[in-house]
Every structure is written in C-alpha cells, then in structure tokens.
C-alpha cells in the first residue's frame, strides 16, 4: 500500500492511496472508522502499474488529530505524516518495489494490524517507495527468508 496525505487550502486532510489488495483497503477503512472518519472516497482510477487509487477525506481538525493519535504520529501543515515511536507491537514496514521486496525497512509501533498497514502506507510515501508491506517484528528478523535459504 502507498498513501500520500496532503492538506487542502481549507485544511481538509486528503489521503490519496493506491494498492492492488482488497485486504489493504479494508485495513485503511477499518482504521478510519475506528476514529469516526467517513470511508466515502473519490475513485482515482488505475495507475500506470495497475493499482487501484482512492482519495479519502478527513474534514475536521478533531478527526485529523484522532487519526494522528491512533497512527501515533502527526500531520504537518502540508499533510506530511511524521510517525513517532509509541506503544503497541513492533512492526517492520518493508519496501515494496514493482518487482518484489526491496531493501528498505523502517520499524514502528502500532496497536493492531489494520493501523500498521495504514501507517506503513504513509511511511512508504515518505520514503519514496513504490509501496510498503507491514509485518510484525523487526527489520532484521525475517524467519521466512531464513527458512527458504535452508529449504525448511
């Protein structure tokens, strides 16, 4: 998932998101509804890579603050998302490239998987990645890769 937050001149926070996966749309919408934000969106069509795009709107400052709180970060005046380390489980946001996983990874905390997926999408935008994939654990630990190397 890839999510680009921005603010309009009137202060509305827009979340421009792209993904191939239905479960990631569900995670984003679950995160939004958990802080009483409407999940109505404007379709953006399909991007050059085949990902569906949607634009969600967070229209009031109290809802923007609620979203920032659950994501454990803050939105700048231009909408840029700045994550903080907080409480909850540790997740790794792994860089997704058009041809698979990249080398980039950033650790963060989140209270649950839907919030982690949403936060990782915003981290992917900030890092200028094609997308981000959230999974529990740390960047240096990926047991699945280790098991594949040893063919277990």
Residue 137 pLDDT exceeds 50:
yes
pLDDT in tens, 78-113: 999 988 877 778 999 999 998 888 899 999 999 999
Residue 144: pLDDT band (50, 70, 90) is low
Rounded CA gap, 49 and 46, in Å?
8
Number of domains in the chain: 1
Residue 145: pLDDT band (50, 70, 90) is low
**Structural domain that includes position 90:** 2-149
| SS3 category, 75 | strand
Helices first, then strands: H and E counts in the chain: 4, 9
Predicted pLDDT of residue 115: 96
For the entire predicted model, the pTM comes to 0.88
Strand order in the sheet with 89-97: 100-110, 89-97, 131-136
């Amino acid at each position: 998932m890839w999510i680009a937050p921005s603010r309009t001149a009137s202060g509305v926070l827009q979340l421009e998101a792209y993904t191939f996966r239905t479960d990631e749309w569900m995670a984003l919408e679950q995160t939004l509804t958990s802080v009483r934000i409407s999940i109505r969106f404007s379709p953006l069509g399909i991007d050059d890579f085949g990902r569906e795009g949607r634009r969600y709107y967070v229209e009031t400052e109290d809802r923007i603050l609620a979203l920032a709180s659950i994501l454990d970060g803050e939105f700048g005046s231009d909408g840029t998302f700045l994550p903080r380390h907080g409480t909850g489980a540790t997740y790794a946001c792994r860089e997704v490239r058009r041809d698979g996983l990249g080398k980039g990874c950033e650790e963060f905390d989140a209270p649950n998987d839907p919030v982690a997926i949403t936060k990782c999408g915003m981290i992917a935008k900030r890092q200028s990645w094609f997308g981000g994939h959230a999974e529990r654990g740390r960047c240096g630990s990926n047991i699945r890769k280790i098991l594949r190397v040893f063919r277990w």
